[in-house]
Amino acid sequence: MTPKDISVIGVPLDYGADRRGVDMGPSAIRYAGLHEKLRQAGHRVNDLGNVTVPVPESRTPQDPRAKYIDEIVKVNRVLARTVEKVCHEGQFPVVLGGDHSIAMGTIAGLLRAKPKLGLLWFDAHGDFNTEETSPSGNVHGMPVAVAAGRSRSDLAVPFKGAFLDESKIVYVGVRTLDPAEAEALRNSAATVFSMHEVDRWGMREVMRRAIGVVTDGTDGVHLSFDIDALDPLYAPGSGTPYSGGLTEREAHLALELLAEGDILTSIEMVEVNPILDEHNRTGRLAANLIASALGHRII
């Protein structure tokens, strides 16, 4: 892999989920030795610190259809500007969450630098709800739909009218969807490799097909990785665990294949919850997965 100038951006946001704790995710991943692993892989690392996020105790959710929408939009606007600046300076953004609602800011910023962006979305969930279809009103279940231009709320403000091409969105590891969300995905141009496809074809074939989609006619590829893509047996520090997920080795293989192709232009790791973790086991796994995606090898 070509050595990269990596900028690490922490986003300790947990407004998008019901359970507290993911605001400590960036610290847990850093503490697990992320920077050293990336340097060992030959990269230069600059940590930009954390985007400022007000504590939830000082706020109240105003809209039950999209809880804490004002706070989430504000943070994502700052994140989008930060990511855009990093990209224009020739840096490689590594964004650490926080809950998955931060992906709206990350993707909005990336699109300003790479308008034909391809998206790889590793997740147990679809995150393809809108404020009109979400049964919970939790915004971390909406970022892909918003990034694709399907939301009519202020969540779309950071995108400034520039959205993802749905045909360049690829999911890996999905295994639970809300009914309306599943219907929307079936009618979308996105490609979904659920755990059924992973089991049936194997991770190598899934990634061959996924890479083919996200690199066809794109000018960059973003990896957004929710730690609950893995089975909770391997990643207990997740607020939305769902059994039947990826094994640790399947996840590493997928990211090693991405590193082999050297196709990624940005990475995001989210939903690590140290409160629910066991001795930072999930934080270490998250750090190791990022390192695998950026070329770290045993030998």
Mean pLDDT per segment of 10 residues, for the chain of length 299 residues?
A: 96 92 97 98 98 83 90 97 98 98 98 98 98 96 98 96 98 97 97 98 98 98 98 96 96 98 98 97 98 91
Instruction: Tell me if residue 123 is catalytic.
Output: yes
- What is the maximum alpha-carbon separation in the chain? 52
Model pLDDT, residue 174: 98
Q: What is the helix, strand, coil percentage profile of the chain, to 5?
A: 45, 15, 40
pTM over 0.95: yes
Domain over 5-293 is classified CATH 3.40.800.10 = yes
Catalytic, out of 35, 43, 100, 222: 100
140 has catalytic annotation? yes
Sign of CA dihedral 163, 165, 170, 176: positive
- 228 in catalytic set: yes
Task: Give me the sheet containing 220-226, strands edge to edge.
Answer: 44-50, 5-11, 92-97, 266-270, 220-226, 117-122, 169-174, 191-194
Evaluate whether 226 touches 100 at the Cβ level (below 8 Å): yes
Q: How far apart are CA 12 and CA 52, in angstroms?
A: 8
pLDDT at 56: 75
What gap in Å lies between CA 207 and CA 204, rounded to an integer?
5
14 is catalytic: no
Q: Would you state the pLDDT for residue 84? A: 98
Residue 297: the pLDDT is 85
pLDDT of residue 77: 98
The pLDDT value recorded for residue 127 is 98
Which of 123, 131, 166, 231 is labelled catalytic?
Answer: 123
Catalytic residue among 14, 23, 99, 127: 127
Specify whether the CB–CB gap between 193 and 172 falls below 8 A. Answer: yes
pLDDT at 63: 85
- What's residue 1's pLDDT? 86
pLDDT at 54: 87
Q: How distant, in Å, are the alpha carbons of 81, 133, 218 from that of 251?
A: 30, 30, 24
User: What pLDDT is stored for residue 217 in this prediction?
Assistant: 98
Q: What is the pLDDT of residue 55?
A: 82
Catalytic residue among 231, 250, 268, 271: 271
Torsion angle (degrees, nearest 10) of CA 171, 176, 182, 188: 0
pLDDT value at residue 102: 98
